[in-house]
Structure 1
Amino acid sequence: MPQLNPTPWFIMLVSCWIVLLILIVPKVLAHTYCNSPAHQSAHVPNTTSWAWLWP
């Protein structure tokens, strides 16, 4: 049964990890976003309670 021979599968596993670490990870980390996140202001808006029309 060829599934029990780990040599070709191990080489495939190592080569996939090498491709992932050398080619794909730097491309993902170098990605720049179009819109940089803006900080929320520390100003708290003035809120008033609702004035009901009935007693």
Structure 2
Amino acid sequence: MPQLNPAPWLLVLLFSWLVFLTMIPTKIMQHHFMGDPAPQVAKKYTPTSWTWPWH
């Protein structure tokens, strides 16, 4: 059964992982997204005081 011979498939596996670990991350990191959210100034929350009577 030739499918159980690991010699050619191991080499294919190693080369494919070599491609995945070297070429693809650099291509992904060079991609620029067009819809990057711009940082906005956060408003400081000022709570209002409690005006109801306690009785």
RMSD: 1.9
What's the TM-score once normalised by structure 2's chain length?
Answer: 0.62
In percent, how many aligned pairs have the same letter?
44
Structure 2 residue aligned with 1:11? 11
Structure 2 gap ranges (5+): 44-55
What's the TM-score once normalised by structure 1's chain length?
Answer: 0.62
Q: Between Structure 1 and Structure 2, how many residues are aligned?
A: 45
Please report how far the alpha carbon of residue 9 of structure 1 lies from its aligned counterpart in structure 2 after TM superposition: 0.5
Query: Would you say 1:36 and 2:30 are equivalent positions?
Result: no
Cα distance in 2 between the residues matched to 1:42 and 1:25:
34
Structure 1 gap ranges (5+): 44-55
